[in-house]
Copies of this chain bind each other. A is one copy, B any other.
Amino acid sequence: MSERALVSALGARAAELDAADELAGLREQFVLDDVVYLDGNSLGALSAGVPGRVDDVVRRQWGELRIRSWEESGWWTAPERIGDRIAPLVGAAAGQIVVGDSTSVNVFKALVGAVRLAGEGRDEILVDATTFPTDGYIAASAARMTGCELRPVDPDEVTSALGSRTAAVLLNHVDYRTGRRFDLPSLTSAIHAAGAVSVWDLCHSAGALPVGLDEHGVDLAVGCTYKYLNGGPGSPAYLYVRAGLQDRFDSPLPGWNSHADPFGMSPSYAPASGALRGRVGTPDILSMLALEAALEVWDGVSIDSVRAKSLALTDFFLECVSAYVPEGRVESVTPSAHAERGSQVALRCADAGAVMKCLIDNGVVGDFRHPDILRFGFTPLYVGFADTERAARVLAETLS
């Protein structure tokens, strides 16, 4: 087929796929322009309901009600209320997630908590050797402060590395660089079979695919909210503590917000029951309520539909790249098997930094990951198939 015919055929396919897309209408709920935004796995787009809500929080709740808003505007209970809003997206029943702090801080709470749950005699923490770096850095600190040894392992070798010394295992559900999805159910089972405690980082999966925290018996999990959950720049992260473990969860950051009676001002600490135990200090209200507004776009949206569209988008992108880009110029490091794929496509490419700059200048926004990766994130709520075809086409033009 000629290049022109190819473009025409794939363009027509994109139009058909968009027409059949049951999620296509959600795009209107976002503030988007002519750019193809494939960086929602770094910073999700703004949804249209957020600016008005934030303005109300600032002008009325803070400006007029002031201190009364802690009660009257529901500020005090926001961390658990918003946690319950995220819960169904990651397969958790209510009462197990609190929102607040950064992902790094939550990794610390979760890992130290996990080591304490594992109990005496276990003194090793396993961590995904290819993890987003902050998880590894924080895991090293958690190990140092709990008297454990930190052992970075290739994710494929986790099962064989488990043993009677293993206290806790910190894994990513989806790898930030390659977009590879790991087998959360079987890895969690293996961790449990070894008597260890599982901690999953959901930054690159929550909001893009089903997680099934409760179903698969995950112990602790953390995630950010500014990627596929579109909470805004640096919006607060969350901590999941499985209901059955909450009474024994012993946080290394027992701030007053996690006290059983926070306004009793007792000099001695008594932890609250439930997910609240994961709170620390005063919640960051502006960011937290922006996130709450952003989560409203999920009303009535099934995460299974999101996953189906995500796979269709990444399949179609790989197909278009393969059709348009000259052989050998890029190589996908994202697994082709659906079961092993998250919601992004990562292409290894010479001069990836310069290529991404050029793509951005031409209206296709992905990002570059050192040293040679072009990363394209597909957010099914607002990315369509025509966007996807265009991105591949612009990539081919850039590389030729």
Q: Does A86 contact B (CB under 8 A)?
A: no
Contact flags (1/0) for A96-116 with B, using CB distance below 8 Å? 000001111100100010000
Q: Which of A5-13, A204-212, A258-266 contacts B (4 or more CB under 8 A)?
A: A258-266
A283 and B141 within 8 A (CB): no
Given contacts A51-B63, A66-B45, contact A253 B133 (CB under 8 A): no
Q: Does A339 contact B (CB under 8 A)?
A: no
B105 and A280 within 8 A (CB): yes
A234 and B282 within 8 A (CB): yes
Q: Does A118 contact B (CB under 8 A)?
A: no
Q: Give Cα distance in the complex from A75 to B263, angstroms.
A: 35
B67 and A46 within 8 A (CB): no
Cross-chain contact of A254 among B46, B102, B132, B138 (Cβ < 8 A): B138
Q: Give Cα distance in the complex from A133 to B265, angstroms.
A: 6
Q: Does A362 contact B (CB under 8 A)?
A: no
Cross-chain contact of A43 among B67, B108, B257, B369 (Cβ < 8 A): B67
B63 and A104 within 8 A (CB): no
A145 and B253 within 8 A (CB): no
B63 and A233 within 8 A (CB): no
**Shortest distance between the CB of A234 and any CB in chain B (Å):** 4
Which A residues are within 8 Å of any B CB, using their own CB? 31, 33, 37, 39, 42-43, 45-46, 50-51, 54-55, 58-59, 61-64, 66-67, 69-70, 75, 101-105, 108, 112, 129, 131-134, 136-138, 140-141, 145-146, 152, 177, 224, 226, 232-237, 251-257, 259, 263-267, 269, 280-288, 290, 365, 367, 369-370
Given contacts A75-B234, A108-B253, A145-B146, 17 further A-B contacts (CB under 8 A): A43-B62, A46-B62, A54-B286, A62-B233, A67-B365, A102-B284, A105-B253, A105-B255, A105-B280, A133-B267, A134-B257, A137-B255, A152-B267, A235-B286, A237-B281, A264-B370, A284-B287
